Amino acid sequence: MVVRAELMVVLEAPEAWLVAVGARRDPAAFRSLFEHFAPRLKGFFVRGGLDPARADELVQEVLVRVWVHARSYDPARASANTWVFTIARNTRIDVARRDSVRATALPDDGVSGGPEGPLVALQSRHEAAALRAALQELPDGQRVVLERAYFEERSLSEIAAQEGLPLGTVKSRVRLAFERLRVALGAGR
Amino acid sequence: MTHHPSDELLVAYASGAVPDGVELVIACHLERCPLCRAEVAAAEAVGGVMLDEAPAVPLSVDFDALLARVVVAPPAPARPPPAPDPVFPAPLVRRLSTTMSAPFVGVSGLPWRFVVPGARRVSLPVGPGPRATLWLFGGGFRPPRHTHPGDELTLVLSGGYRDRHGAFGPGDVEERAAEDAHEQRMDDEGCVALIVDEGPIVPTTWFGRLLARFASG
């Protein structure tokens, strides 16, 4: 049966590793998460302009938080990629603001909402695949603006200054890119 | 709710590019707005794909060293959401509970400071970036005409106001550019708002200059 085959895929996916770490503190699942995410996280941070040693520290900090907060991961609400991304984002912000107060965006605040149901982990994987395809098809100008926003956490006015573009152009590229991505997400549902 | 943060602001929030005060405003709006939550969820999913597609760079730390570090770390305790407050969304309650010296008991328990008749304020400690202030305005209050040295972001918490951009009620967010001199009239029931701005307001009338002397202290 098709559903059964798809479920097998889900069980081997990062979503299942996160659930196993959350439920049982499973070291083997954590190793799988480490092998999958650590090099990507490092690449993500290095692309964002961190030097490799600093990126190493940050990656470890992210993975510690993944371990500690895995219990609050809900595969019905986000794919593993998305959840780890939000942890990485919050970790980078927290490290940058270490000396200042901050109590808003811990990962279990879970800003991302989503539908509920038994096969939603599968669904979020389909969405991720649809999104990836849509991102690849974006015109270069739109993709570059999004990459700068995400990898480098640049505000749109900083991107405009860097790229020598009017702010209005950068804003409309983000808007256009998101319209396309929204269509892709709709199609993945 | 009719006034939402712009797409640009939501994307900046999801990618981690907004300063603390702005983050607080958006987090509070999201709690009350399923539409923007879906928007942010989509923007975070884009981040997830970006992470997945990032070039793989090997770590100089091995797994066993990391495992030794985490096994001693207890799982994070489940954090129950704070008791619902009729005025303040949970992210703000959490912030008020952790940064104010007195325990949080709601809008009447805050250390409001008199500014002018009809306007009181409390400064909210936030990280680097624009400052955040809670305002309590009386019914019918009209702040003096003024401009701002930088952009200003307003989140209505209760009551509301009206300006030339429309009527704003609980949960609504208004983004205003620096050069936009504006006039508001608070609703008859008054208004509680969280305002994030770049610095002291620049009043354009003598009454406003008086207000500014009190408001920046």
- Residue among B8, B41, B70 whose CB faces A67 most closely: B70
Q: At what angle do helices A167-188 and A140-151 cross, to 10 degrees?
A: 90
**Residue B32: pLDDT band with limits 50, 70, 90:** very high
pLDDT of residue B193: 97
Residues B112-132: tens digit of each pLDDT: 999 889 999 999 988 888 899
Domain with CATH 1.10.1740.10 in chain A: 10-104
Q: Give A45 to chain B, closest Cα distance, Å.
A: 9
Q: How far apart are CA A176 and CA B11, in angstroms?
A: 12
Class of domain A118-185: mainly alpha
Residues B138-175: tens digit of each pLDDT: 999 998 777 777 788 999 999 999 998 999 999 999 99
pLDDT of residue B29: 97
Domain with CATH 1.10.10.10 in chain A: 118-185
pLDDT of residue B161: 97
Q: What is the CATH number of domain A10-104?
A: 1.10.1740.10
Task: For chain B, say whether A174 makes contact (Cβ under 8 Å).
Answer: yes
Residue of A nearest to B58 (CA): A39
Q: Are A80 and A18 in contact, with CB atoms under 8 Å apart? A: yes
pLDDT of residue A104: 42
pLDDT of residue B83: 86
pLDDT of residue B171: 97
Task: For chain B, say whether A32 makes contact (Cβ under 8 Å).
Answer: no
Pick from A3-12, A14-23, B68-77, B197-206: least confident: A3-12
Q: Give B147 to chain A, closest Cα distance, Å.
A: 21
Contact A93 B16 (CB under 8 A): yes
Hey, what's the torsion of the CAs at B187, B192, B198, B204, to 10 degrees?
A: 30
Q: Which domains does chain B have, with CATH numbers?
A: 1-54+84-217 (2.60.120.10)
pLDDT of residue A131: 82
Q: Give B56 to chain A, closest Cα distance, Å.
A: 5
> Could you give phi then psi for residue B2, rounded to 5 degrees?
-125, -20
Mutation site, B46, B53, B95, B175, interface A, largest A CB count within 10 A: B46
First to last CA, chain B: 33
- Residue among B17, B42, B53 whose CB faces A181 most closely: B42
pLDDT of residue B61: 86
pLDDT of residue A106: 41
Task: For chain B, say whether A176 makes contact (Cβ under 8 Å).
Answer: no
| More confidently predicted of B195 and B179 | B195
pLDDT of residue B34: 93
pLDDT of residue B168: 97
- Residue among A64, A69, A185 whose CB faces B42 most closely: A185
Q: In degrees, to the nearest 5, what angle opens at C-alpha A180 toward C-alphas A177 and A171? A: 25
Please tell me the pTM assigned to this model. 0.82
User: Residue-wise pLDDT tens for chain A (189 aa)?
Assistant: 444 444 444 556 899 999 999 999 999 999 999 999 999 999 999 988 889 999 999 999 999 999 999 999 998 888 999 999 999 999 998 888 774 444 444 434 343 433 333 344 445 667 777 888 888 888 998 888 888 888 887 878 888 888 899 988 988 888 888 888 877 766 544
Is the pLDDT at B63 greater than 60? The verdict is: yes
| More confidently predicted of B8 and A23 | A23
Q: Give A6 to chain B, closest Cα distance, Å.
A: 20
Mutation site, B20, B25, B59, interface A, largest A CB count within 10 A: B59
pLDDT of residue B51: 93
Contact B45 A146 (CB under 8 A): no
Residue of B nearest to A115 (CA): B38
Contact B127 A64 (CB under 8 A): no
DSSP for B6-47 reads -HHHHHHHHHT-S-HHHHHHHHHHHHH-HHHHHHHHHHHHHH
Q: Are B44 and A85 in contact, with CB atoms under 8 Å apart? A: yes
Average pLDDT, integer, range B33-53:
91
Report the b/e string of A73-83 with b at 16+ CB within 10 A: bbbebbbbbbb
Three-state SS string across B178-195, please? CCCCECCEEEEEEEEEEE
